[in-house]
Amino acid sequence: MTLTSLRSFKSSSRHLARMGAAALSLAIVFALIIVAAPAGQAQSFTVLHNFTDGTDGAYPQSGVARDAAGNLYGTASSGGAGYGTVYKLTPKNGSWVFAPLYQFAGGNDGANPVAPVMIGPNGSLYGTTYEGGGSGCGTVFNLRPEPMVPLTPLTPWVETMLHRFQCTDGEWPPYGDLVFDHAGNIYGTTSGGGTYDSGTVFKLTPSNGAWTESVLYSFDGGSGGGLPDSGVVLDSAGNLYGTVYGGFSEEAGGVYELTPSGSGWVEQVLHSFDISDGADPMGGLIFDQSGNLYGTTTSYGPGGRGTVFELSPSGGGWTLTTLSGSSGSLASLTMDASGNLYGTGDDGAYGFGNVFRLTRSNGGWTYTSLHDFTGGSDGAYPWGGVTLDAHGNLWSTAWRGGAYGYGDVFEITP
């Protein structure tokens, strides 16, 4: 399959998230719905909010961000005014209060957010929309409470547009997080557009209240890879690391590093997947304290359904180790203080996805499914990554299912 065909297929798949039955004219449900975990699993699974395809949104494709007060923030890819929402969940007296913060109108303000929001240094929210922005190629936005307006749970936040993509400088910002550097610059990716129409890595630089976009790298769709579906991570030296879904030597995607050099950036291929060790990575990367990288693939590998992998620097190169050959993940992993890994899978015992943990054990890794989705009231297809606190509680979303079929936000506690 060519990169152009892959791009068309993936775009069609994402548009399925906005399809479904007619909208339900239901009020937002604030009460909790408790769903028992399948037998044999000790964790407690709780649905915090069921999306109704009303003002709250529908079909969340990403996980949630959590602030220091324990509030959760996320996006729904459709619903609201028709083009998706940004929402907040606040813990209160043992339950959770849901508040829609912004409803996208589908024009210059953007449309269909599929990536998570990031809590910035100033406490406001930063994110992307997959489409909209005038040209239809997506946007980067900021949301914050309106100054001088008394806040209530239903007070909408104000959007500031940081950048509207014009397609030539990138299009379709994908599932990955944005990331800040120490100077306050923002980095991210687009899954299409750029010089070769195979995606870009971009930088947004603040200046006098405005933001200037620069394309750091345009993927060529071939030996340099293409179609990044995740964001980038930075090391202490300012180098960028990420994954691409397609291209490289085996057309199965891989892992790259971008290093600033003179007036531009130079790409180094850290690993090109060859199907035997996985293929088609869509999730991003995380670092551990030793400088090792961890990520996932969505297909192939030893078990035939994707992998969890580690890349370790060795002798001037990088060595890949497959940690698990279970069902692949579309999202980035999360690591706890003990070095255990958490993620979401696209298969599970019932075929509707799961949340898993990989625990370090005797020099290896032990795989545990924390919850297998049934496709019913607990949800289906958790496409986003998980957010974890110091007590082992985790939060994320299910794209489908739930009480009304439009997905949900859930919590798993030990």
CA dihedral 62, 355, 297, 232 (to 10 degrees): 40
Q: How far apart are CA 312 and CA 219, in angstroms?
A: 24
The answer to whether residue 22 sits within a structural domain is no
The answer to whether residue 21 sits within a structural domain is no
The whole-number pLDDT of residue 22 equals 29
CATH number at residue 302: 2.130.10.130
For every residue of 92-124, DSSP letters joined together read ETTEEEEEEEEE--SSTT-B---SPPEE-TTS-
The whole-number pLDDT of residue 362 equals 87
Structure tokens at 54: 């009303």
3-state secondary structure of 14: helix
The whole-number pLDDT of residue 36 equals 38
CA distances from 363 to 115, 308, 336, 366, 380 (A): 34, 16, 17, 10, 33
Q: Is 361 exposed, middle or buried (0-12, 13-18, 19+ CB in 10 A)?
A: exposed
Beta bridge partners of 129: 139
CB atoms within 10 A of CB 337: 7
* CB of 284 closer than 8 Å to CB of 241: no
Structure tokens at 186: 């923002």
The answer to whether residue 23 sits within a structural domain is no
Question: Tokens 């190629």 map to which residue?
Answer: 137
Residue 143: which of 164, 158, 153, 131 has the closest Cα? Answer: 158
* CB of 116 closer than 8 Å to CB of 63: yes
The answer to whether residue 270 sits within a structural domain is yes
Q: How far apart are CA 364 and CA 143, in angstroms?
A: 43
The whole-number pLDDT of residue 396 equals 98
Q: Which stretches of the chain drop beneath a pLDDT of 70?
A: 1-42, 148-154
The answer to whether residue 20 sits within a structural domain is no
* CB of 366 closer than 8 Å to CB of 386: no
Which residues, in sequence order, are CB contacts of 311 under 8 Å at separation 6+? 255, 270, 271, 292, 293, 294, 295, 318, 319, 320, 321
The answer to whether residue 223 sits within a structural domain is yes
Residues 78, 81, 87, 90: is their CA dihedral positive or negative?
negative
Residue 223: which of 200, 250, 242, 201 has the closest Cα? Answer: 250
Structure tokens at 204: 């947004």
Structure tokens at 279: 């293929």
The answer to whether residue 24 sits within a structural domain is no
Residue 36: which of 372, 292, 268 has the closest Cα? Answer: 372
Range of the domain at 331: 3-15+29-413
Q: How far apart are CA 238 and CA 233, in angstroms?
A: 9
The whole-number pLDDT of residue 18 equals 29
Structure tokens at 116: 């998570």
pLDDT tens figures, 389-413: 999 999 999 999 999 999 999 999 9
The answer to whether residue 250 sits within a structural domain is yes
CB atoms within 10 A of CB 92: 10
The per-residue b/e assignment along 372-383, b for 16 or more CB within 10 angstroms, e otherwise, is bbbbeebbbbbb
Q: How far apart are CA 34 and CA 22, in angstroms?
A: 26
The whole-number pLDDT of residue 33 equals 30
The whole-number pLDDT of residue 150 equals 66
The whole-number pLDDT of residue 23 equals 31
Beta bridge partners of 159: 143
Q: How far apart are CA 86 and CA 411, in angstroms?
A: 19
What residue type is assigned to position 401 of the chain? G
Q: How far apart are CA 302 and CA 7, in angstroms?
A: 26
In the chain, the number of structural domains is 1
CA atoms lying within 13 Å on the CB side of residue 18: 20
Q: How far apart are CA 258 and CA 189, in angstroms?
A: 12
Which residues, in sequence order, are CB contacts of 94 under 8 Å at separation 6+? none
pLDDT tens figures, 44-94: 999 999 999 999 999 999 999 999 999 999 999 999 999 999 999 999 999
